[in-house]
Structure 1
Amino acid sequence: MDNVFAGVVNLELASDKFDYPSLALRRLIVLEPRPTPFTALLQPSSDKEHHLIKYFVKRGMFPSTIDVFHLATYGVAANPSIISEERRRRYVGSYALAGGITIRQLKTSNGLVANSNGADSLRASAAAAISYSRNGQFSKSVELLVTGYLKWPHAPTATSLYEIVSRLDLPENWPESICLPLAFELYTSFVSNDRMTHLRYAFERFQTEFNISAPSELKDRVSEFGLSKVVFYLDSVWRPEVMRQTVLYEGTREIEEERIKVCQVLADIDSVNSLRYLAEIRERVKTLEIAKATNLVEQSKVYVDIAAIKKALRSKLGDAYARYKSAAPSMGAPGNPLMDVISDVLSLSGSDMSITQIMSTMHLVSTKAPSELDLQFAAMFAEVTNEFLRGDHGLNAYLSTRVRHGKLSNALRKPAADEYLVTERKEGSSSYVPNYHWAQTLNGLDQEENNELSVILENFAITLDSIISYVKDSLIQVKVTHELITKDSNRLALFSYQTTNLERMYMQTNDAKVKSLDEFIDLCVQTLWDKTDANLVHVQQVLRTDIRQKLMTAFDELQRSLSTLSFSDRLGKFIII
C-alpha cells in the first residue's frame, strides 16, 4: 500500500511532459494490485482495441473509468456526459498535447485555464503554455506559465519548465514581456542554474526595452504589468546574483545599494511580507557599512610618505651606512653560498609570499655569534623598519589619524546611528546622551516604558562602542619583533612585522650590490611593503569575519531584548532590526 501511495504522490508531483502514458503513470499502474481499465495500457492492442477493456464493458464494470480511458487514450469517449466538462477538457487537452497541436487544441487549452482552479489551474496553464510554445507563440506561452505559477505556486515542478524554457535559447525568439525573465527565474530556481546567463540577459533586456532604471519606476507601472508579477520580479529577479555581470551596474556597492531600493519598494507594495524586506534592508545596510570600514585599510588607500621617511633616515643613518659600506669589503661580506642555496630553494617553493616574507618566519639556530658588521647591519635594518612603521610619516601615524580616530569609528557606528539606535557619549562621561527619538516617534509609550527602552538602547550602545574600541585599540595596531625580541605587549595587533636573523642575512647579502643609502632604504622598504600587503589581507579577513560576527551578534541581542518587552507589539516596524 505504501508503494501505491508513493506512486500516486510521484504522479501528482511529476513534471508533465505530456507523453502518454508517462513513466509515472505506468509505474502507478504496475503497483495497483487489482486490474483497472488503465491496466490495458500494459497490454498490446490491435486497431485501438484492448481485450481487457472489452472484458470490463461486457460485464458493465468501470463505466466512468472506461470513458476516461478513451478520452485520455483516443481523445473521444462513448458517453462523455457522465464526466464533468472541466475533466473532459483536461483529458482532451492532454491527448492533443501528446499527439500534436492544432488551433482548435489551443482553444481547448485556453478553456482548461479559464475553467480550472487550484492545482488543476497550474497544470492547465502548463498545458496551455506548452501548446503555445510548440506553436511558436512564445509571448503567450511564458505569460501562461508565469500566471499559472502565481495562481498556484505550491508545486512548480509539476509544470514543464524545461520544455518551455528550452525553446527560448535563441534571443530572437524572446518576447518583450516581464514574463520572460520570470520564466527564466522559475527555471533557475526549480530546474537548473545552467541558464543563469539567459536570466541576466533577459533582466537587462527588459530593463532597457521598457526604460526602467529604478525600482520606483517599475512600481509606478504596476497597472501595466500586474501587481503579482511586479512583486515576483522585484523579489526574485532584481537581486544581486542576477544584476552581476550585466552592463547596468559597475560594482558590488552599486548593486547592493540598488537591492536596498528594491526592498524598500517591495515593503511598500507587498505589505504582507514587509517585515522580511525590512530585515533584508537592515542586513544589507549593515554589510555595506562594515565594507566601508574594511575599505579604509585597503592596500590602495594605505599611505606612507616615503620621501619624508628617506629624509629622516638620511640624517640618522648617513654616517653609519657609510662606515658599514667601507668596512664590508675588508670583512668579506659580499657573497654568501648559504643564502644563495636557501633563496634558490625558496624561489621554487611555489608560494605566493616573497622570499623575504618566508625568511622572516624562520630563525637560523647557530652557535656562531654575529659579527660586529652583522650587528651594524641589523641595527640599520631595524632603524628603517621603525621609521617606516612608527616614524612621524609612517604607517602607524596614518592608522592613527585616518583610521583609528576618524573614519573607522564612524563607519562601524553609522548603521546604528542612522536607525536612531545609539547616541553620543556625554562629554567627559561614560554615559550617553538621552535618546529622545523613540519617545517622540512612539507616542503610545508611558514614562516607565520609555525608560525600559532607553536602558536597552544604552546597553546596545555600550556593546557597540566596546567592539569599536576593541578594533581600534587592540587590532588596528602595529607590533614589531626584531630577531625574536619585541617591546610590544599587544599580541592582538594585526599589523605584525617580524624580522629574523635569516632574513637579515639575506638582506645583508643583497646589500653587497647596493651603492647608496637611498638604494639600501628602497631595498628595506620593499620588504616592508610585502609584509604590509600580507597584513592588509589578514586585517580585511578579520573585519569581514570575526568583527562582522560580533556586530551582527550585538544587533541580534538588541532584537531579542526588544522582543522580550511587554510592549514590544507597540514598537512598530521602526525598531525592528
Structure 2
Amino acid sequence: MPKNYQDFKKLLFHPKINKKQLFEELKVKYSFEEQESVLKQLPKIFTPFVTGNSLMKDKAALGLAVRNSDYSFKISLNWYCQQIKLNQIEVNEFLRLREDYEQQFLLGKYSESNKTLLKVSNSISHSLWSIENEFLQVQFEKGLEHNFKLLNASQAINVKDRSFYFLLHFFSVKVEEDISYFNYETSLNSSFSSVPKQYVNFFNYRLNPMNYSFGNLEDLFTVYSNYSILDRYILVRDVLVQLCTDERSEEEKLLCLERSRFLSKFINDPVLLKIIALLGDEQDFTQLIEIKKCKIIDHYTQGRYIETIELSKNYLLEMPNDFSLLELYVKSHIHLNIELECISINPCFLDIISKLTYTYLSKIGDPNESLVDLLTQANAISNFDFSKEIVSFLERNMKIDYFKENSLSYFYSRSLNPLHYTVFKNEAKRASFLGCLDTETSLTFNFFRMLNGSIDKEKFKGIIPEYRINYYTAITHFVRGEFEIAKNGLEQILKESNHAGFFFELVVDCLFKCYVALFEIDCAIDLYVHTYLTNETLVSRIDSSKAIEVITSQRFRNVRHDNINLPVFIYNTASETHAKFIAYDLFMRAVKANRPTELFSILEKTEAAEMFFLRFVATSKIISRKALVFKNSLQVIEERIEICQGLSKIDTTNIEEYNNEISELTKRLTVQLRIKEIDQSMIYVDENGIVGHELGETNKGFNRFRSIAELLNLNKIDATGMSYDALLELLIGNIDRDTYKKSIRKADIHFEHFIQLFIQIRDKFLFSNYYGLDYYLSQRIRHGTIIGQLRRQFQELNLVTSRSSEDGDYLPNLYWSSTQLGLDKEVKEKFELRMSQFSQDIDAVITELKDRYIQIKTEDPKTQQSGWFNYMYIPNWHKDHLYSLFISKIQLITDFNEFTTSIFDILWDMTAQNLQRIRTAIDQQVKAILISHLDELESDLMIILKDSQPGKIMKSIADCRTNVQSDVDTVIRWFNRSKNDEIDFTLADAFNTSLTIVNNINSPFLIHFDENLETQTFFKGAYFTHFVDLLKIFITNIFNYSKANELLNVAAKVRFHLEGEILTIDFKNSLAELDSQEALLLKIDEIKTALLSNNYSATRGEVKSGFYKANNIVKNVFRDKSNEITVDLHANTFKVKIKISVNNLLV
C-alpha cells in the first residue's frame, strides 16, 4: 500500500518516535515517488533530517562517514536527488560560479578566479571541490613554495575526519608541475598498501578520477553523506554519466534516465539534458547545439583555416572551456603549416594545453611525451569538465577508432558537435541528431548526414576540400568493410596532396589497415617503412599485430624476401628477436650476401632504408645468430666495426654515433681476452644504458626533488610531517590528530619523494628489459647456463638421462643397464626405475635453484618471493637506514647524474649483501643436496646390484661426487659483481686500444708509431677508459695533422717512462716543411692558454684539439692538480709532455 505524507506526519509528530530513525526509514523503505510526495509537504524545520549538514560554513565540519553501507546505491542515489532538490538554489549558483571559475583559471585570470573560489566557499559552502582548487590556484599563481605553505596551513584545521589530511597531501601533490601523472598515480597507489579499506574506494574516486571504474558505488555514497551538497551533486552527476555506459544494465540505465529527468526540472546542468537525449525518446537536440560554434566548425570543414583561427580565438577568449574548438584552432595552424599563436596575451593554462596539443598533432618531437604531459595537466584539473574532454582526446588518439566518438566528450563538452552523432546507437536517433539543423545552418552536420546515409561526394565538391571529402568517404567505406574502395580513395589522397602531421598519420593508418585486410602485405610494409623513415612518429599508433600474425603464420612465404623494407618493418614492429633474425636472414639470402658489409657493394643504392638496415638491424645481437658465418664473438665485433666504418662514409649526419660505437667495440675487443682470463663473474647491470634510455620520467621527477631541496636550503618551507608516512599512522589510529600536528618525524616530503625516485631507479636497475640485473641473470645464468654447468658431470659420467619428447618420462639408462652391467630383466627394471628417479632428483634441484632462488624479489607480490636476490624496501632496508644515507649523501644533490650514481651505489651495496648470502647458500645447501642424492643413489644401487659387479658405476658415482663440487664452486664464482671496469691494465693495453680506435674510425687511413713503452706496471681498472680517452686525444691530433699534410707514412713517436711516482708520457710528430713558424707558435700559445684555464665546462663543447678535455682528465679525473701537460716546438718537431702522479692510480 502506497505511503503518503499524512501517514508519515502522524509518526513525525509522535513524541515517542525517534526522528532520525524515522527519516532513515523514509530513505530506505519508501519509494522515490513516495519520498517526493512526503518531502513536498514537509515543514522546513525538518529539512536538516533529510539533507544533513549540507552547507558547511567551516572547513572543520567536513567529515567522512566510515561505516559501510547496508543498502544498495540506488537507495542512496534517490536520497541524494531529494537532497539536491532541497538545496537547488545553492547547487545552481555553484554550477554557475564553477563555470566562471574554470573559465577564469584557464585564461590565467588568477585574481578573478580566486575571488570566485572564495565566493563559493563563503557564500554557499566549503567543500572538497573548493579545497582542491585552492591548491590548484596557488600552485599556478604563486608556485611550489606557496603550495607547501598552503599545505602546512591547512593541516592546522581542526577536522575530525582523519582522511582529510590524506586528501590535503595529494591535493597538493597532484597539481605540482614536475610530477607526471604516472608518477603521481604510482605514489598514490603505493600509499594504499597500509590505508584502511573503507578509505581506499573514496580516495581512488576523489584523487584519481581519470582511472576510477565506479565499481563500489554503495560505499562511495555512504562516504559522501558527510560532505557538502556541492560535493554530493558532483558525485551524483558523475554516477549518472557512468550509468549510461554500455557496461551497465538496462535497469540501471532506466534509473539513470528517470533521475536525470527529475533533476533537470530544477537544476540547470547541460549534462543532465545530454543523458536524457542519449537514453530517452526526446528528439529535440537544438538546445544542446550552439549555432555560433557550428559556424566555426563549418569554416574548418571548408578548409578556411585563417577564419577558423580568428573566430576560434575570439570564442575561446570568451568560453575557454571548450576543448573541441581548441582542437580545431590547433589543427588549423597545422594545416597552414604555421607556428601556433597564443590565445591569451598572458601566460595561461589554456595556452599550455594548446601548445601540448599542437606538439602532439603536428608530430614534432616525441608525441608520447606530449600525451603524457597532456595527461598530467588533465590530472591537475581533474575536477574540471574541460579535463574530461582532454582525456577523451587522449583516448581517441591513443587508439584510432573511426566514427566512435568517446562518450566523455559528449557528456562534458560545452555544446555538441557533428561527430557526437556516433554516440547514439539507434540509427533513427543518429539521423535525427544530424538532421536537427538545416543545410544553411550547418554544412558540417549536412556532410556527416550524407556519410551516415548513401554517399554522394558530388554534392560537396568545390565546397569542402577534396582531400577531406575523400578521407571521410574512405573511412566510411572502411567501416562498412569495403576495403578496396577505401584503399583507392586513400591512395589518391597521398598522390595528390602533401599533408603533414596528424592528417597524414590518419590517412596512413587507415591505408595500412586496408592493405592488411586485403592481404597486400608487401604494400603495407612499404607504406609503413616509407612513412617511418620520413617521420617515425607518424606510425606510432599503427597496430601492426595483425600484419605480423599474417606474416609469421605463413612463415614469411607471403612477402618479398628481397625487399629491404621487410627486415626494417619486422625490426620495428615484432617483439621477438627470433622474428627479427628470420627477416634479416631471408633478406640476406635473397640478395646473396653472407655478411652485412657485402651489401655496400651488392646494393645499387644506399638510401634511408638501407642505412637503417645496416645501422639498426645488422647489429651484433642479430648477426651473431648466423653461426655458420660468424664463428665467435670476435668475428661479430669485427664485422660490426666494418659496418660502422662503411656507414660513417655515407651517413655523415650520424658519424659521431658510428665513431662512438667503433670506439666502444674496439675497447671491448682489446680487453675481452683479459676479462675472460680474470673475471668469471656474471652479475652485471648496464648503468649507462639505464641512464641513457630508461630514466626519462624519473629525470622529470628529479626536477621536483631539486626544487624542494632549493626551497629547504633557503628555509622557505618546513617539510617535516608533510608526508603520508605520518598520515598512515594517523589513519590507522596509531597517533591522534594533535600528535600528528606536532610531529617532528624524520619522514618529510623531501625524503618521501626521494623514496619514490629510489624505487623507480631500483626497479629499472633490477627489471629493465635490456639493461637490468634480471635481464643479465636470465641471459648469463638462468637461460641454460646453470643447467649445463651443474648437470655436466652427471651427464658425462652417464648417471642421468633426458626426458622423452613423447611422454615426458626419463629415457632408460642403457649405457649402464645394457652395455656396462648387462642386467637381467628383473634387476634391470629396478635399476632403471632408480636411475630415472635420480635424474628427476638432480633436475629438480637445478630447476628449483633456477626458477625459485636465482630470482629477484621486492615488496611487489608479483615478484618471486622465494628469490635470493632480496631488494625488498621494507623490512630489509628500513627507512631509518635509508634516511641516514639520504641525509648524509643525497639530500642536497642537484645534478641528476650524481643522484643516479648515488642510488646505484646503494643498490650495489644491497647486491653485494645478496651475493654473499647466495654464495654461502649454494656452497652449503646446493652442494650438500647434490652430494646427498649421490650418496643415496650409491646406497640404493649397492642393494639393487648386490648380485652384479657394480664397481664401474660406483667409481663413476665417486668421481661425480668429487667433480660436482668443483662445478658448484665454478657456479659460486659467477655470483660476484662483474669487474669489466676493474680489470687491471698496463699502459701498453691503453695505448694499443687508443691507437686501434683511431685507426678503425679512419680506416683505410692508418697512423703508425715508434713505441717505447718502458713500464709494465699495472694500473687500476677503473682508470682504463680515462687513459684510453686521454691517449686517443693526442693520437687523433697527430693523425689529423699528418693526414692533412700527407705525413701518414712518417711514424710518430711515443714514450712512456715511470720513475718513482711520476709517469711521463712523450708524444712527438714531425711537422710539414712548408708550415709557417709564426702560425705554429701562435697555435702553441693558444694551447698553453687553454692548459692554464680552469674552464672545465669547455670540455662539454670542445670538438677540435681536445686539450681542455685532456687537461680535465689529467688534473681532475686523476685527482692531482700538480699533474700537467706541456707543449713545445723544436727542430721542426711538435712535442707534448704529460706528467702524471700515479700515487692513486697503481694497483
The counterpart of 1:433, out of the listed 1066, 1071, 1077, is 1066
1:124 is matched with which residue?
507
CA distance 1:40–1:276, change in 2 (3 Å): same
Query: Counterpart amino acid of 2:669?
Result: L
Question: 179-188 or 427-436, which moves further after superposition?
Answer: 427-436
Query: 1:181 is paired with a residue of what secondary structure?
Result: helix
The counterpart of 2:447, out of the listed 67, 73, 78, is 67
Query: 2:1067 is paired with a residue of what secondary structure?
Result: coil
Preserved contact between residue 165 and residue 183 of structure 1 (Cα < 8 Å) = no
Preserved contact between residue 89 and residue 108 of structure 1 (Cα < 8 Å) = yes
Identity of aligned residues (%): 14
Distance, in Å, in 1 between the alignment partners of 2:593 and 2:408 is 49
What per-residue deviation string (whole Å, max 9, x for no partner) do you get for residues 412-454 of structure 1?
A: 43111333646642678753332428x679x897345458769
Query: Counterpart amino acid of 1:7?
Result: S
What per-residue deviation string (whole Å, max 9, x for no partner) do you get for residues 170-213 of structure 1?
A: 3222322111111112214xxxx2x3211111011111111233
2:535 is matched with which residue?
152
1:251 CA drift (Å): 3.0
1:282 is matched with which residue?
663
Aligned counterparts, 1:386-397, within 5 A? none
1:409 CA drift (Å): 5.4
Query: Counterpart amino acid of 2:390?
Result: F
1:349 is matched with which residue?
925
Preserved contact between residue 161 and residue 186 of structure 1 (Cα < 8 Å) = no
> Is residue 2:621 matched to residue 1:241?
yes
Query: 1:432 is paired with a residue of what secondary structure?
Result: strand
> Is residue 2:403 matched to residue 1:7?
no
Distance, in Å, in 2 between the alignment partners of 1:9 and 1:151 is 24
CA distance 1:235–1:456, change in 2 (3 Å): farther
The counterpart of 1:163, out of the listed 546, 549, 566, is 546
CA distance 1:449–1:27, change in 2 (3 Å): farther
Query: 1:266 is paired with a residue of what secondary structure?
Result: helix
> Is residue 2:568 matched to residue 1:182?
yes
The alignment covers a number of residue pairs equal to: 360
> Is residue 2:654 matched to residue 1:20?
no
Query: Counterpart amino acid of 1:186?
Result: N
1:138 is matched with which residue?
521
Distance, in Å, in 2 between the alignment partners of 1:231 and 1:100 is 38
Preserved contact between residue 611 and residue 647 of structure 2 (Cα < 8 Å) = yes
Preserved contact between residue 388 and residue 408 of structure 2 (Cα < 8 Å) = no
2:48 is matched with which residue?
none
Distance, in Å, in 1 between the alignment partners of 2:1080 and 2:929 is 62
Query: Counterpart amino acid of 2:551?
Result: L
1:307 is matched with which residue?
none
- What CA RMSD, in Å, does the superposition of the two structures yield over aligned residues? 4.2
Distance, in Å, in 1 between the alignment partners of 2:616 and 2:1107 is 26
Query: Counterpart amino acid of 1:415?
Result: T
Preserved contact between residue 644 and residue 659 of structure 2 (Cα < 8 Å) = yes
What per-residue deviation string (whole Å, max 9, x for no partner) do you get for residues 470-507 of structure 1?
A: xxxxxxxxxxxxxxxxxxxxxxxxxxxxxxxxxxxxxx
CA distance 1:214–1:31, change in 2 (3 Å): farther
Query: 1:8 is paired with a residue of what secondary structure?
Result: helix
Preserved contact between residue 456 and residue 558 of structure 1 (Cα < 8 Å) = no
**Greater relative contact order: 1 or 2 (C-alpha under 8 angstroms, separation 6 or more)?**
1
> Is residue 2:391 matched to residue 1:33?
no
Preserved contact between residue 139 and residue 175 of structure 1 (Cα < 8 Å) = yes
Distance, in Å, in 1 between the alignment partners of 2:413 and 2:927 is 65
CA distance 1:48–1:347, change in 2 (3 Å): closer
1:67 CA drift (Å): 0.9
Aligned counterparts, 1:372-451, within 5 A? 410-418=988-996, 419=998, 421=1034, 424-425=1054-1055, 430-436=1063-1069, 446-447=1080-1081, 449=1083
Distance, in Å, in 1 between the alignment partners of 2:923 and 2:677 is 33
Aligned counterparts, 1:186-265, within 5 A? 186-188=572-574, 193=575, 195-220=576-601, 223-224=604-605, 227-247=607-627, 248-265=629-646
Distance, in Å, in 1 between the alignment partners of 2:423 and 2:625 is 51
Query: Counterpart amino acid of 1:52?
Result: F
1:528 is matched with which residue?
none
Question: 117-126 or 175-184, which moves further after superposition?
Answer: 117-126
CA distance 1:6–1:446, change in 2 (3 Å): farther
Distance, in Å, in 1 between the alignment partners of 2:517 and 2:442 is 35
What per-residue deviation string (whole Å, max 9, x for no partner) do you get for residues 118-150 of structure 1?
A: 223333233222222221221111011111122
Preserved contact between residue 178 and residue 206 of structure 1 (Cα < 8 Å) = yes
CA distance 1:15–1:185, change in 2 (3 Å): farther
What per-residue deviation string (whole Å, max 9, x for no partner) do you get for residues 292-342 of structure 1?
A: 32235478xxxxxxxxxxxxxxxxxxxxxxxxxxxxxxxxxxxxxxxxxxx
Query: Counterpart amino acid of 1:245?
Result: R
Query: 2:592 is paired with a residue of what secondary structure?
Result: coil
Query: Counterpart amino acid of 2:1064?
Result: S
1:62 CA drift (Å): 2.7
1:21 CA drift (Å): 2.9
Preserved contact between residue 267 and residue 274 of structure 1 (Cα < 8 Å) = yes
1:313 is matched with which residue?
none
Distance, in Å, in 2 between the alignment partners of 1:241 and 1:174 is 24
Distance, in Å, in 1 between the alignment partners of 2:928 and 2:659 is 43
Distance, in Å, in 1 between the alignment partners of 2:511 and 2:411 is 30
Query: 1:434 is paired with a residue of what secondary structure?
Result: strand
Query: Counterpart amino acid of 2:499?
Result: N
CA distance 1:407–1:456, change in 2 (3 Å): farther
Preserved contact between residue 421 and residue 430 of structure 2 (Cα < 8 Å) = no
CA distance 1:175–1:156, change in 2 (3 Å): same
Query: Counterpart amino acid of 2:925?
Result: S
TM-score scaled by length of structure 2: 0.28
Aligned counterparts, 1:436-515, within 5 A? 436=1069, 446-447=1080-1081, 449=1083
Query: 1:83 is paired with a residue of what secondary structure?
Result: coil
Preserved contact between residue 1056 and residue 1065 of structure 2 (Cα < 8 Å) = yes
1:101 CA drift (Å): 4.1
CA distance 1:353–1:159, change in 2 (3 Å): same
Distance, in Å, in 2 between the alignment partners of 1:456 and 1:436 is 21
Preserved contact between residue 483 and residue 517 of structure 2 (Cα < 8 Å) = no
CA distance 1:216–1:347, change in 2 (3 Å): closer
2:887 is matched with which residue?
none
Distance, in Å, in 2 between the alignment partners of 1:66 and 1:560 is 71
1:386 is matched with which residue?
none
Query: 2:532 is paired with a residue of what secondary structure?
Result: helix
1:216 CA drift (Å): 4.0
Distance, in Å, in 1 between the alignment partners of 2:538 and 2:513 is 17
Preserved contact between residue 29 and residue 39 of structure 1 (Cα < 8 Å) = yes
